[in-house]
Structure 1
Amino acid sequence: MSCVAGRMEWYKEPGSHSVPRSVLYILCLLLFPTVVMYPGLWSIGVQLHSLLTGSYVPGHHSVLLISSPNEQAAKDIGSRAIMERRMAASINILPRTSTMYYWKGEIQDSTEIMMLVKTKTSGIQKVIDYVRSVHPYENPEVLSLSVDHGSPTCMDWIDEAVLDD
Protein backbone atom coordinates (compact mmCIF):
# COMPACT_ATOMS: atom_id res chain seq x y z
CA MET A 1 0.00 0.00 0.00
CA SER A 2 1.41 3.40 -0.90
CA CYS A 3 1.85 6.04 1.79
CA VAL A 4 -0.96 8.17 0.21
CA ALA A 5 -3.34 5.22 0.23
CA GLY A 6 -2.29 4.38 3.79
CA ARG A 7 -3.65 7.75 4.97
CA MET A 8 -7.02 7.17 3.35
CA GLU A 9 -8.86 4.67 5.48
CA TRP A 10 -11.56 3.99 2.89
CA TYR A 11 -9.05 3.00 0.19
CA LYS A 12 -9.08 -0.65 -0.78
CA GLU A 13 -6.54 -2.57 -2.75
CA PRO A 14 -7.30 -2.90 -6.48
CA GLY A 15 -9.87 -5.58 -7.13
CA SER A 16 -11.68 -5.23 -3.79
CA HIS A 17 -14.89 -3.25 -3.46
CA SER A 18 -16.58 -1.80 -0.43
CA VAL A 19 -19.91 -1.62 -2.33
CA PRO A 20 -21.10 -4.71 -4.19
CA ARG A 21 -21.07 -4.30 -7.95
CA SER A 22 -24.75 -5.24 -8.14
CA VAL A 23 -25.66 -2.20 -6.01
CA LEU A 24 -23.57 0.09 -8.25
CA TYR A 25 -25.16 -1.48 -11.32
CA ILE A 26 -28.69 -0.85 -9.97
CA LEU A 27 -27.80 2.75 -9.06
CA CYS A 28 -26.50 3.34 -12.59
CA LEU A 29 -29.65 1.81 -14.07
CA LEU A 30 -31.78 4.20 -12.01
CA LEU A 31 -29.60 7.29 -12.46
CA PHE A 32 -29.05 7.08 -16.23
CA PRO A 33 -32.74 7.19 -17.25
CA THR A 34 -33.36 9.99 -14.75
CA VAL A 35 -30.63 12.14 -16.31
CA VAL A 36 -31.69 11.30 -19.87
CA MET A 37 -35.36 11.98 -19.13
CA TYR A 38 -34.75 15.20 -17.15
CA PRO A 39 -36.75 17.53 -19.46
CA GLY A 40 -39.71 15.15 -19.39
CA LEU A 41 -39.49 14.70 -15.62
CA TRP A 42 -39.27 18.47 -15.17
CA SER A 43 -42.38 18.92 -17.29
CA ILE A 44 -44.28 16.31 -15.26
CA GLY A 45 -43.11 17.97 -12.03
CA VAL A 46 -44.31 21.38 -13.23
CA GLN A 47 -47.69 19.94 -14.21
CA LEU A 48 -48.05 18.22 -10.81
CA HIS A 49 -47.08 21.43 -9.02
CA SER A 50 -49.66 23.41 -11.00
CA LEU A 51 -52.33 20.76 -10.39
CA LEU A 52 -51.70 20.54 -6.64
CA THR A 53 -51.21 24.25 -5.93
CA GLY A 54 -53.33 25.80 -8.67
CA SER A 55 -50.44 28.13 -9.52
CA TYR A 56 -48.19 28.56 -12.54
CA VAL A 57 -44.43 27.94 -12.38
CA PRO A 58 -42.85 31.04 -13.97
CA GLY A 59 -40.42 30.38 -16.80
CA HIS A 60 -41.72 26.95 -17.82
CA HIS A 61 -43.01 28.40 -21.11
CA SER A 62 -41.49 30.93 -23.49
CA VAL A 63 -42.37 32.97 -26.53
CA LEU A 64 -39.72 33.25 -29.24
CA LEU A 65 -39.55 36.24 -31.56
CA ILE A 66 -38.12 35.29 -34.95
CA SER A 67 -37.78 37.74 -37.82
CA SER A 68 -37.98 36.66 -41.47
CA PRO A 69 -37.48 38.52 -44.74
CA ASN A 70 -40.95 37.66 -46.08
CA GLU A 71 -44.12 35.73 -45.31
CA GLN A 72 -43.16 32.66 -47.34
CA ALA A 73 -39.85 32.28 -45.46
CA ALA A 74 -41.75 32.59 -42.16
CA LYS A 75 -44.25 29.91 -43.21
CA ASP A 76 -41.47 27.62 -44.43
CA ILE A 77 -39.53 27.99 -41.19
CA GLY A 78 -42.66 27.62 -39.08
CA SER A 79 -44.27 24.65 -40.76
CA ARG A 80 -41.30 22.70 -42.05
CA ALA A 81 -40.14 21.43 -38.68
CA ILE A 82 -41.20 23.65 -35.82
CA MET A 83 -44.88 22.69 -36.10
CA GLU A 84 -44.49 19.33 -37.85
CA ARG A 85 -42.06 18.11 -35.17
CA ARG A 86 -44.22 19.63 -32.43
CA MET A 87 -41.48 21.93 -31.14
CA ALA A 88 -44.13 24.63 -30.58
CA ALA A 89 -47.81 24.79 -29.75
CA SER A 90 -48.48 27.61 -32.20
CA ILE A 91 -46.85 30.23 -34.35
CA ASN A 92 -48.29 33.63 -35.12
CA ILE A 93 -47.01 35.24 -38.32
CA LEU A 94 -47.46 38.97 -37.94
CA PRO A 95 -47.87 41.29 -40.91
CA ARG A 96 -45.06 43.25 -42.45
CA THR A 97 -43.09 45.44 -40.06
CA SER A 98 -40.62 48.20 -40.70
CA THR A 99 -37.24 47.35 -39.21
CA MET A 100 -34.19 49.50 -38.60
CA TYR A 101 -30.97 47.87 -37.39
CA TYR A 102 -27.19 48.11 -37.43
CA TRP A 103 -25.46 45.63 -39.70
CA LYS A 104 -21.77 45.68 -40.55
CA GLY A 105 -21.36 49.23 -39.27
CA GLU A 106 -24.28 50.77 -41.15
CA ILE A 107 -27.91 51.52 -40.39
CA GLN A 108 -30.20 49.28 -42.42
CA ASP A 109 -33.88 49.91 -43.15
CA SER A 110 -36.05 47.03 -44.37
CA THR A 111 -39.36 45.28 -43.99
CA GLU A 112 -39.67 41.96 -42.21
CA ILE A 113 -42.22 39.47 -40.98
CA MET A 114 -42.22 38.65 -37.26
CA MET A 115 -43.06 35.21 -35.90
CA LEU A 116 -44.25 34.57 -32.34
CA VAL A 117 -43.47 30.98 -31.39
CA LYS A 118 -45.09 29.59 -28.22
CA THR A 119 -43.20 26.68 -26.69
CA LYS A 120 -41.74 25.14 -23.56
CA THR A 121 -38.58 26.77 -22.27
CA SER A 122 -36.82 23.39 -22.27
CA GLY A 123 -37.16 23.23 -26.07
CA ILE A 124 -35.80 26.67 -26.96
CA GLN A 125 -32.32 25.53 -28.00
CA LYS A 126 -33.79 22.90 -30.32
CA VAL A 127 -35.89 25.58 -32.07
CA ILE A 128 -32.94 27.98 -32.29
CA ASP A 129 -30.68 25.31 -33.79
CA TYR A 130 -33.31 24.47 -36.40
CA VAL A 131 -33.95 28.12 -37.31
CA ARG A 132 -30.22 28.76 -37.74
CA SER A 133 -29.95 25.75 -40.08
CA VAL A 134 -32.70 26.89 -42.49
CA HIS A 135 -33.01 30.67 -42.11
CA PRO A 136 -32.01 32.78 -45.14
CA TYR A 137 -30.31 35.41 -42.92
CA GLU A 138 -26.62 35.08 -42.08
CA ASN A 139 -27.45 35.93 -38.46
CA PRO A 140 -31.15 35.21 -37.82
CA GLU A 141 -32.79 37.08 -34.97
CA VAL A 142 -34.24 34.69 -32.41
CA LEU A 143 -35.17 36.18 -29.05
CA SER A 144 -36.71 34.31 -26.14
CA LEU A 145 -39.14 35.86 -23.68
CA SER A 146 -39.98 33.88 -20.57
CA VAL A 147 -43.66 33.62 -19.64
CA ASP A 148 -44.05 34.65 -16.00
CA HIS A 149 -47.84 34.34 -15.88
CA GLY A 150 -50.48 32.88 -18.13
CA SER A 151 -53.87 31.33 -18.35
CA PRO A 152 -53.62 27.84 -16.78
CA THR A 153 -55.66 26.29 -19.58
CA CYS A 154 -53.43 27.91 -22.21
CA MET A 155 -50.27 26.73 -20.43
CA ASP A 156 -51.71 23.20 -20.18
CA TRP A 157 -52.48 23.33 -23.91
CA ILE A 158 -48.84 24.23 -24.67
CA ASP A 159 -47.67 21.32 -22.48
CA GLU A 160 -49.91 18.91 -24.39
CA ALA A 161 -49.02 20.25 -27.84
CA VAL A 162 -45.22 20.38 -27.47
CA LEU A 163 -43.42 17.06 -27.31
CA ASP A 164 -40.82 16.49 -24.61
CA ASP A 165 -37.32 15.49 -25.61
Structure 2
Amino acid sequence: MKPLLILITVSSEEEGARLASALLEARAASCVNLLPAIRSFYWWQGKREEAAEVLLLVKSAQEQWEKLETVVRRQHSYECPEIVAFSPERVEGRYLAWWEGELGAFSLES
Protein backbone atom coordinates (compact mmCIF):
# COMPACT_ATOMS: atom_id res chain seq x y z
CA MET A 1 0.00 0.00 0.00
CA LYS A 2 1.09 3.54 -0.71
CA PRO A 3 0.14 5.76 2.27
CA LEU A 4 -1.52 9.13 1.71
CA LEU A 5 -2.21 12.07 4.00
CA ILE A 6 -5.32 13.88 2.80
CA LEU A 7 -6.52 17.37 3.69
CA ILE A 8 -10.25 18.05 3.64
CA THR A 9 -11.92 21.23 4.91
CA VAL A 10 -15.51 21.23 6.16
CA SER A 11 -17.94 23.83 7.45
CA SER A 12 -18.24 22.64 11.07
CA GLU A 13 -17.05 20.12 13.66
CA GLU A 14 -20.37 18.28 13.28
CA GLU A 15 -19.86 17.89 9.54
CA GLY A 16 -16.26 16.84 10.16
CA ALA A 17 -17.31 14.18 12.67
CA ARG A 18 -19.97 12.82 10.28
CA LEU A 19 -17.48 12.69 7.41
CA ALA A 20 -14.79 11.10 9.59
CA SER A 21 -17.24 8.43 10.70
CA ALA A 22 -18.32 7.73 7.11
CA LEU A 23 -14.69 7.41 5.96
CA LEU A 24 -13.89 5.01 8.79
CA GLU A 25 -17.03 2.92 8.21
CA ALA A 26 -16.12 2.61 4.51
CA ARG A 27 -12.54 1.65 5.50
CA ALA A 28 -11.38 4.50 3.25
CA ALA A 29 -9.31 5.82 6.19
CA SER A 30 -7.49 4.31 9.13
CA CYS A 31 -7.59 7.55 11.15
CA VAL A 32 -9.06 11.04 10.83
CA ASN A 33 -7.93 14.02 12.91
CA LEU A 34 -10.25 17.04 13.22
CA LEU A 35 -8.40 20.33 13.60
CA PRO A 36 -11.04 22.84 14.69
CA ALA A 37 -11.21 26.60 14.38
CA ILE A 38 -9.18 27.29 11.28
CA ARG A 39 -9.81 30.45 9.31
CA SER A 40 -9.67 30.16 5.54
CA PHE A 41 -9.16 32.96 3.02
CA TYR A 42 -9.73 32.08 -0.63
CA TRP A 43 -11.17 33.04 -4.00
CA TRP A 44 -14.56 31.57 -4.94
CA GLN A 45 -16.38 32.43 -8.16
CA GLY A 46 -14.35 35.60 -8.66
CA LYS A 47 -14.81 36.95 -5.12
CA ARG A 48 -12.53 36.96 -2.10
CA GLU A 49 -14.04 34.89 0.69
CA GLU A 50 -13.30 34.21 4.33
CA ALA A 51 -14.74 31.36 6.39
CA ALA A 52 -14.39 29.55 9.70
CA GLU A 53 -13.73 25.91 8.87
CA VAL A 54 -12.50 22.64 10.33
CA LEU A 55 -9.60 20.75 8.76
CA LEU A 56 -9.62 16.97 8.53
CA LEU A 57 -6.26 15.22 8.31
CA VAL A 58 -7.03 11.79 6.90
CA LYS A 59 -4.68 8.78 6.89
CA SER A 60 -5.47 6.65 3.86
CA ALA A 61 -3.74 5.01 0.89
CA GLN A 62 -3.51 5.42 -2.85
CA GLU A 63 -5.48 2.18 -3.21
CA GLN A 64 -8.40 3.75 -1.28
CA TRP A 65 -8.44 7.07 -3.19
CA GLU A 66 -11.51 6.41 -5.37
CA LYS A 67 -13.53 5.09 -2.43
CA LEU A 68 -12.48 8.06 -0.28
CA GLU A 69 -13.34 10.56 -3.01
CA THR A 70 -16.76 8.94 -3.51
CA VAL A 71 -17.56 9.09 0.22
CA VAL A 72 -16.45 12.72 0.49
CA ARG A 73 -18.43 13.85 -2.58
CA ARG A 74 -21.54 12.05 -1.30
CA GLN A 75 -21.33 13.41 2.26
CA HIS A 76 -19.76 16.86 1.87
CA SER A 77 -21.82 20.06 2.00
CA TYR A 78 -19.56 22.04 -0.37
CA GLU A 79 -20.13 22.22 -4.11
CA CYS A 80 -16.36 21.90 -4.63
CA PRO A 81 -14.79 20.19 -1.59
CA GLU A 82 -11.07 20.36 -0.94
CA ILE A 83 -9.60 16.86 -1.20
CA VAL A 84 -5.81 17.18 -1.44
CA ALA A 85 -3.44 14.23 -0.96
CA PHE A 86 0.23 14.08 -0.08
CA SER A 87 2.49 11.05 -0.01
CA PRO A 88 4.57 10.99 3.16
CA GLU A 89 8.27 10.40 2.59
CA ARG A 90 8.71 8.45 5.79
CA VAL A 91 6.42 6.86 8.36
CA GLU A 92 7.61 5.09 11.52
CA GLY A 93 7.45 1.35 10.91
CA ARG A 94 5.03 0.26 13.64
CA TYR A 95 2.66 3.13 12.88
CA LEU A 96 2.81 2.36 9.15
CA ALA A 97 1.99 -1.30 9.83
CA TRP A 98 -1.07 -0.24 11.87
CA TRP A 99 -2.09 2.34 9.22
CA GLU A 100 -1.92 -0.20 6.39
CA GLY A 101 -3.42 -2.97 8.50
CA GLU A 102 -6.56 -0.99 9.24
CA LEU A 103 -7.06 -0.19 5.56
CA GLY A 104 -6.29 -3.78 4.57
CA ALA A 105 -8.85 -5.09 7.06
CA PHE A 106 -11.57 -4.00 4.66
CA SER A 107 -10.15 -6.22 1.91
CA LEU A 108 -10.20 -9.20 4.27
CA GLU A 109 -13.82 -8.56 5.28
CA SER A 110 -15.26 -8.10 1.78
TM-score normalised to structure 2 length: 0.91
- Give the superposition deviation at 1:115: 0.2
Residue 87 (structure 1) shift:
1.5
Correspondence 1:116 to 2:57: yes
Establish whether residue 130 from structure 1 lines up as the match of residue 63 from structure 2.
Answer: no
Unpaired runs of 5+ residues, structure 1, are 1-42, 44-59
| Equivalent residue for 2:32, pick from 91, 94, 97 | 91
Question: Runs of 4 or more off by more than 6 Å in structure 1?
Answer: none
What is the Cα-based RMSD across aligned positions, in Å? 1.2
Q: Deviations over 1:2-37 (max 9, x none)?
A: xxxxxxxxxxxxxxxxxxxxxxxxxxxxxxxxxxxx
Determine the structure 2 residue equivalent to 1:74: 16
The 2-side partners of 1:118 and 1:61 are apart by 7
SS in 2 for 1:87: coil
Residue 149 of structure 1 pairs with residue 90 of structure 2 = yes
Higher RCO (CA 8 Å, separation ≥ 6 residues): 2
* Larger-gyration structure (1/2): 1
Q: Which has the higher strand share?
A: 2
- Pick the aligned partner of 1:161 from 77, 83, 102: 102
* Structure with the higher fraction of residues in helix conformation: 1
Summarize the alignment of residues 47-58 of structure 1 with structure 2, pairs less than 5 Å apart: none
Equivalenced residues, count: 106
The code of the aligned residue for 1:87 comes to A
Structure 1, residues 20-61: CA drift from partner, whole Å, max 9, x if none?
Answer: xxxxxxxxxxxxxxxxxxxxxxx4xxxxxxxxxxxxxxxx10
